[in-house]
Amino acid sequence: MKVWLGGVLILLAGCASVQNGTKILPVMGFADSQGTKAAVPAPAAEFQAAPAAVAAVPAAPDSASVLAQKVLLLPFKDLSKYRGPWDICAELSRSLGDSLARNPYIVPTRPDSVFMAGLTVKERKGQIDWDRALELGRQAGVDLVVMGEIEDLSMKRFRATVPIGGYRSYQGVVIIKLKVLKVVDGRPAGEPRQEVVNDSKRYGITNPAASVPLDREYFFLGETPWGTEDFHQTLVGGAVDQCLGKLSADLAGLVRPPSLPSVSAPKIIDIDGLQVYINIGLADSVRNGDKFGVWDHGRELRDPQTNTVLGFALSRRVGVVQVEQVLNEHLSMGRVLEAQAQIEKEFTIRAE
C-alpha cells in the first residue's frame, strides 16, 4: 500500500513539473488571450527576398544641361533713387533668372538662403568687385557670373495744360546694365544695357477720371507685391518684364555657340586625359567658355555569319568639351566636361 501511494505521488509531482515548465503555444498567426501575436519564424535564407540590385553604371548627367552655360546671378547694385519697400537688388536678379530659365542655352543659378548667408551686408546689396564675383562663381561651379546695376526704376507723372483742356501721362521707367564675367579665364564677356519706358499715353488717357487708377499706382508704388499678376499689370511691372526680356536675349547672344564651318570638319586633334585640342579658333568665332558636343564615327556593323563589314551605325554624341583657351586662328585648348564613352582623336565636334 505504501509502495502504491509513493508511486502515485511521484506521478503527480512529475505532471506538476511539466505544467510549470511548459507554455501552451497559440495557433500561428493568431493572438493569445493577452493580445500578443505569436512570433512567425523567419524564412530560410534561400527563400528570403533578394536585395535590390545596385546599378553597375551611375546615371549620366543630362547632356543638355552640360552643354548649357551655367550662370550665377548675383544681387544687383541699386544706383536709382527708388526708396520703396521692394528689395529690388534681390528681386530683379531673381526675375532675370526666371526669364533666363526659358532659354535652352542657359541654366540660371539663383542664390539661395545658404549662399546669401555667406555674403556681407554690402554684397547683398550688389556691392561686389570682380575678384570676389569670380571667387563666388568658382565656388558655385558655374561658367558665367552676372552682376547688375539698376540705373533707374521709377514711375513718372507728367501734366500739361492747354487752352482746350489738359492731359496727364505716366511712365514706368527701368534701366539696367549687366556685367558678365567668364569664370574659365576671368575676363569680361560683355556689358549689355537696356532702357525701357512704358508710357501710359498709348492708352489714350485724356480725362481726369481715367487717370485715377494710375494716380493710385503712382502714389502707392511698391504696395503691390513683386512678381504677382497685379504687379505685371502696372506700368513699372510691364517695364521690368520688357527690360529683363531684352537682357535675356542679350545674354543668349553672348553664350550661344558659334556656327562651325561645314567644309573643314571640326574635330579633336589631340587628347591627353581630360585636356583636348580642337582645330577651330579665332577664325571660327570660337570664344573661351564655348561648349561643344563630341560625336564618334559610329560603330562598325558586321554580318553575324560571315563577319563581313556591312557599314557603320549613325554617329552618336559621346561627350561634351569646353574651350578654355583659344590659341590661334585654327587651334583651341579645352577640357572634357562629360564622357559617356571613350573619347578619341578624330572624333568630330558640333555646336548644339
Q: When comparing pLDDT for 337 and 20, which is higher?
A: 337
Q: When comparing pLDDT for 51 and 91, which is higher?
A: 91
CATH number at residue 160: 3.40.50.10610
Domain count, the chain: 2
pLDDT at 289 over 60: yes
Give per-residue pLDDT as tens, 294-312.
999 888 888 888 888 888 8
Q: When comparing pLDDT for 134 and 65, which is higher?
A: 134
Same domain, 114 and 221: yes
* The predicted structure's pLDDT at residue 217: 80
Give per-residue pLDDT as tens, 177-189.
999 999 999 999 9
Same domain, 85 and 233: yes
* Highest-confidence segment of 89-103, 198-212, 297-311: 89-103
Give the span between the Cα atoms of 307 and 302, in whole angstroms.
5
* The predicted structure's pLDDT at residue 110: 80
Give per-residue pLDDT as tens, 210-219.
666 777 787 7
Q: What is the mean pLDDT of residues 314-336?
A: 92
Bridge pairing between strands 309-312 and 144-162: unpaired
pLDDT at 351 over 80: yes
Single residue among 229, 255, 281 that ends a domain in this structure:
255
Same domain, 293 and 335: yes
Determine, yes or no, domain membership for 72. yes
Asked whether 144 and 182 are in contact (CB, 8 A), the reply is yes
* The predicted structure's pLDDT at residue 243: 97
| The 3-state secondary structure of 118-155, one letter per residue | CCCHHHHCCCCCHHHHHHHHHHHCCCEEEEEEEEEEEE
What's the chain's average pLDDT?
78
Q: What is the mean pLDDT of residues 170-174?
A: 92
Q: Which domain holds residue 235?
A: 63-255
Percent with pLDDT over 90 in the chain:
44
Percent with pLDDT over 70 in the chain:
74
C-alpha cell at 323: 574651350
From residue 80, alpha-carbon distances to 83, 84, 157, 180 in Å are 9, 11, 17, 20
Same domain, 135 and 226: yes
Asked whether 106 and 69 are in contact (CB, 8 A), the reply is yes
Give per-residue pLDDT as tens, 213-266.
777 787 778 888 999 999 999 999 999 999 999 999 999 988 877 776 554 689
* The predicted structure's pLDDT at residue 200: 78
Same domain, 250 and 274: no
Same domain, 247 and 105: yes
- Which residue is associated with the grid cell 494716380? 215
pLDDT at 131 over 50: yes
pTM: 0.69
Bridge pairing between strands 106-109 and 69-73: parallel
Q: When comparing pLDDT for 287 and 61, which is higher?
A: 287
CATH number at residue 277: 2.40.10
Asked whether 86 and 222 are in contact (CB, 8 A), the reply is yes
Single residue among 215, 232, 255 that ends a domain in this structure:
255
Q: What is the mean pLDDT of residues 62-81?
A: 85
Q: What is the mean pLDDT of residues 319-335?
A: 93
Determine, yes or no, domain membership for 297. yes
DSSP H/E element including 181 = strand 165-182
Determine, yes or no, domain membership for 29. no
